[in-house]
Structure 1
Amino acid sequence: MTQVVLCGYYGYGNAGDEALLATLLEQLPAHCTPIVLSGNPQATTALYGVAACDRYQWRQVLRTLRRSQVFIWGGGSLIQDVTSWRSPLYYLGLMTLAQHLGCRTVAWAQGIGPVKSPVYRWWLRQLLRRCIAVTVRDSGSAALLRQWQIPHQQGADPVWLMRSPPPSAPSRTPTIAVSLRPHPTLTPERFATIAAALRAWQEDAGLEVLLLPFQPCQDLPLAEQLYGQLIASQTRLLCLADPRQIKAVLAGVQGAIAMRLHALIMAASVGCPCFALSYDPKVSHLMADTGIPGWELSALPATPHVLLSQWQQHWHPNPPYLNYQAYRDSAQVHQAALEGLGDTF
């Protein structure tokens, strides 16, 4: 058996990163024994039934790396220095240590950048050149790696392939799932516009709004604030820890409005029409790659009726971007990269 260390933003209750972990665990070759670096090892073990260690217990991390043969950056926008300089330092440092200790390293399903620091950019290029496989999930990351002349493969986000339980019976009332997150571009004025447009939709069509905080420690206060501005009898708030259950919920609604990247991917992957509110290049890349409609938050209409009109205009069955089999096929690239490593382990 081969021990494989999985490194990502795991154990923090972020459904998008947990979905990446769930998918990676599904796709690992059978001869691999995973151990997850987690912010909450007990929760990770309970949710997925795999070994986990505290990502900040450095002696335990070092001991784990010494006993392992493979180290994987497990998906997501791990290397970006826009929100924090500490985060890329952690991930770059860990891969450097893993390579120094003789682990074969893989950058799996990465969304790379923005990386503004020249030091981080140089460091990242050196590490990627020493990886035995590099896959990325968007055209922007692929363009950057082509510029750096890093061999890689591009595929759709692997969460397009994440398994989920069968959906429950859909509600008789039309339901739209909403996933917002705090961000400087979601100003109080824009938040008020979104809330007013949703309430007007409820009043006009009897619509039910299902609020889905994807990272409750960040998103729940915002969801509760939005709940207070909508019609209570037509609004639900649901917190789920398991991303596979969230995907099943999205399979039972009639649409989704989301800032979170993986809320959009999960919705589209189960045939749910969706509308993006982009706060980040990774969401804009998804919109460009798939044709999912939406707005850059910085350009959101200032009046609720314009926003509501846009939502209603795009809400029709079987929109063209929901040819999701094409994205499922594209996402196979990441699994194929893992399967192809068997002989080198």
Structure 2
Amino acid sequence: MSQVVLCGYYGYGNAGDEALLATLLEQLPPHVSPVVLSGNPAATAARYGVATCDRHHWPKVLRTLQQSQAFIWGGGSLIQDVTSWRSPLYYLGLMTLAQRFGCRTIAWAQGIGPVRSPLYRWWTRAVLRRCLAVTVRDSGSAALLRQWGIPHQQGADPVWLLSARPVEPPQEKRAIAVCLRPHRYLTGDRWQLLKTALRRWQEETGVLLWLLPFQSQQDLPLAEYLHKTLLPERTKVITCEDPRQLKGILATAAGAIAMRLHALIMAASVGCRCFALSYDPKVSYLMADTGMAGVELGALPPDPTALIQQWQETFSAPIPDYQPYLQSAAIHKAVLNLL
């Protein structure tokens, strides 16, 4: 058995990053023994049954790297300096250490950029050139790596292939899942517009809405506040931390209105019609790559009626054929056989 360190934004209750970890663990070759760097090692070990290491305990992290044969940047937008300069410093530093210790390294299912700092751009190019393999999950990242001259493969996000765990009892198939997150774009008039449109849609059609927080610390207060605004008898807050169960819940929904990338991917992969509210380039890339219906959050129509009409059209249209994206996502699994 070879020991492989898995590094990502794991153990922080973000369902999207947990979905990436769950998918990666499902796809690892049988001869690999993973150790997950986690912000909550006990919770990660209990949920997935794997060895873990506290990502902030540097003596343990260094010993783990020295004892390992491979290192995987495990998916997501790890290398970007828009939200924080500390994040790329941490991940680039770990990849550099792993390479110095002789680990085979893979950048797996990455969303690269935006990288504004010249130092981080140089550092990212340097570590990626030393990787055994590099895969990206969207056309924007692929274009950036082509510009940098970095060999890579592009495939759909691996969470398209995450297994779903059935929920008991089965949920109502008529519901629309709503997955919102706090963001600077979702303030003032835009927030009021969304609330008004959702409530009016319920009043006019009787639609049942499930509010699904994908990161409880951020999303749950928003979902609970929205629940008070909508029709209580036609609205339900559903909390779940296991990404496989979340996917099982979405499999029983009729559709999804979501800001979070992996809420959209999970829903689409189980046959839901989806409407994206894009707050980030990664969501816009998904819309562009798949033709998924949606709107940029910063460009919402001013009239709730126009938004309701878009939802009605989306959720009455035929279910899109997403099979090509399920096939494309297998590219990320294939490179793991290099381990």
Q: Work out whether the TM-score is over 0.5.
A: yes
Give 1:156 deviation, angstroms.
0.2
Partner of 1:90: 90
Partner of 1:158: 158
CA separation of 1:317 and 1:299: change in aligned 2, threshold 3 A = closer
Give 1:170 deviation, angstroms.
4.4
Which residue identity is paired with 2:172? S
* 1:141 aligns to 2:169 (yes or no): no
Give me the whole-angstrom Cα distance separating, in 1, the residues matched to 2:188 and 2:208: 23
Q: Aligned ranges for residues 95-106 of structure 1 at < 5 Å? A: 95-106=95-106
Give me the whole-angstrom Cα distance separating, in 1, the residues matched to 2:171 and 2:249: 9
Partner of 2:172: 171
Of 321, 334, 337, 2:335 maps to: 337
Give me the whole-angstrom Cα distance separating, in 2, the residues matched to 1:307 and 1:243: 29
Give me the whole-angstrom Cα distance separating, in 2, the residues matched to 1:318 and 1:13: 34
Give me the whole-angstrom Cα distance separating, in 2, the residues matched to 1:27 and 1:145: 24
* 1:37 aligns to 2:37 (yes or no): yes
Give me the whole-angstrom Cα distance separating, in 2, the residues matched to 1:157 and 1:74: 12
Partner of 1:239: 239
Which residue identity is paired with 1:328? L
Of 323, 328, 333, 1:325 maps to: 323
SS at match of 1:228: helix
Which residue identity is paired with 1:146? R
Which residue identity is paired with 2:264? L
Which residue identity is paired with 2:56? Y
Q: TM-score, normalised by structure 2?
A: 0.98
Give 1:318 deviation, angstroms.
2.8
Give 1:315 deviation, angstroms.
1.4
Which residue identity is paired with 1:337? V
Give me the whole-angstrom Cα distance separating, in 2, the residues matched to 1:23 and 1:318: 28
Which residue identity is paired with 1:310? Q
Partner of 2:21: 21
Q: Which runs of 4+ in 1 moved over 6 A?
A: none
**8 A contact 2:109–2:157 mirrored in 1:** yes
Partner of 2:184: 184
Give 1:167 deviation, angstroms.
5.2
Aligned residues: 338
Which residue identity is paired with 2:285? H
Partner of 2:205: 205
Give me the whole-angstrom Cα distance separating, in 2, the residues matched to 1:187 and 1:80: 24
Q: Deviations over 1:300-336 (max 9, x none)?
A: 11221111111112212533xx312111100010000
CA separation of 1:196 and 1:278: change in aligned 2, threshold 3 A = same
Q: Deviations over 1:60-102 (max 9, x none)?
A: 0001000000000000000000000000100000001111111
Partner of 2:219: 219
Give 1:166 deviation, angstroms.
3.1
Give 1:54 deviation, angstroms.
0.6
Give 1:186 deviation, angstroms.
1.0
Give 1:146 deviation, angstroms.
0.7
**8 A contact 1:167–1:251 mirrored in 2:** no
**8 A contact 2:137–2:155 mirrored in 1:** yes
* 1:127 aligns to 2:120 (yes or no): no
Give me the whole-angstrom Cα distance separating, in 2, the residues matched to 1:273 and 1:317: 8
Percent of matched pairs sharing the same residue? 68
Q: Deviations over 1:145-172 (max 9, x none)?
A: 1111111000000000001123553416
Give me the whole-angstrom Cα distance separating, in 2, the residues matched to 1:188 and 1:20: 33
Give me the whole-angstrom Cα distance separating, in 1, the residues matched to 2:136 and 2:167: 30
SS at match of 1:150: coil
Unaligned runs of 5+ in 1: none
**8 A contact 2:166–2:249 mirrored in 1:** no
SS at match of 1:289: helix
* 1:305 aligns to 2:305 (yes or no): yes
Partner of 1:276: 276
**8 A contact 1:165–1:245 mirrored in 2:** yes
Q: Aligned ranges for residues 34-113 of structure 1 at < 5 Å? A: 34-113=34-113
**8 A contact 1:22–1:162 mirrored in 2:** yes
SS at match of 2:146: helix
Give 1:4 deviation, angstroms.
0.3
Give 1:143 deviation, angstroms.
0.5
Partner of 2:293: 293
Give 1:208 deviation, angstroms.
0.9
